[in-house]
Chains A and B, each alone.
Chain A
Amino acid sequence: GAVVSQHPSRVICKSGTSVKIECRSLDFQATTMFWYRQFPKKSLMLMATSNEGSKATYEQGVEKDKFLINHASLTLSTLTVTSAHPEDSSFYICSARDIQTTGDTQYFGPGTRLTVL
């Protein structure tokens, strides 16, 4: 099946620094990728839709200047948490949309645990 990787799996950073998370579709091309936050014992919260070659679409309440998304190729999207604060600590999950090979299906990465001290 389709595989999506995320890197890093865990990151600890100091308040005020920036952190970049990578999301890659390993065996298919994804014109669309999604970034989610998952809070403990809660469902996924969609943060933004990342479109290859164009600007990301952010959900209401998500600060676009804080969560920078770049989707420069059909297999890579990056999320940069800028000037991170402790409240940004969370589990960030990406997914990639595979339309060509398996129908319109999302495949999820393993997630990145961000801890901001």
Chain B
Amino acid sequence: AQSVSQHNHHVILSEAASLELGCNYSYGGTVNLFWYVQYPGQHLQLLLKYFSGDPLVKGIKGFEAEFIKSKFSFNLRKPSVQWSDTAEYFCAVSLYGQNFVFGPGTRLSVLP
């Protein structure tokens, strides 16, 4: 069965610091990869996704993620975080036509 792991449970950063959130998955076949964000009191929103092509994917709000097939990873990055990036971040993996599997989430706290 597929599984998704996220390296950090809670990350605390100061504003302007760089961010990298780890995501690894266990399936060896072709997968679709996603990062979702849940801001406090809000619903889950799609941040970015990778289906194929350029492994460096750019999403909204300055986020990007890099798919490294050999490492089964899809890490999320942002060069300079803002206080408004405080949220819960979820990595998800799916096989086309099959269920999505979500990681446990990483809580990001950005200190002003």
Residues of A at the B interface (CB closer than 8 Å) are 1, 34, 41-44, 46, 49, 93, 95, 103-111
Contact A43 B104 (CB under 8 A): yes
With known contacts A43-B105, A103-B51, A108–B45 Cβ distance under 8 A: yes
Binary A-proximity of B33-56 (CB < 8 A = 1, otherwise 0)? 010100000111110010100000
B97 within 8 A of A: yes
Most chain B CB neighbours (cut-off 10 Å) among A1, A93, A106: A106
A residues less than 8 Å from B36 (CB atoms):
108
Interface size class of B (residues with CB under 8 A): 20 to 34
A34 to chain B, nearest CB (A): 8
Contact B44 A43 (CB under 8 A): no
A14 to chain B, nearest CB (A): 26
B102 within 8 A of A: yes
Which of A34, A44, A104 is close to B97, meaning CB atoms less than 8 Å apart? A104
Contact A104 B94 (CB under 8 A): yes
14 CB-based A-B contacts, threshold 8 Å: A41-B107, A42-B104, A42-B105, A46-B102, A93-B44, A103-B51, A104-B51, A104-B94, A104-B97, A105-B46, A106-B34, A106-B94, A108-B43, A108-B44
Contact A111 B104 (CB under 8 A): no
Which residue of chain A is the closest to B49 with respect to CB atoms? A105
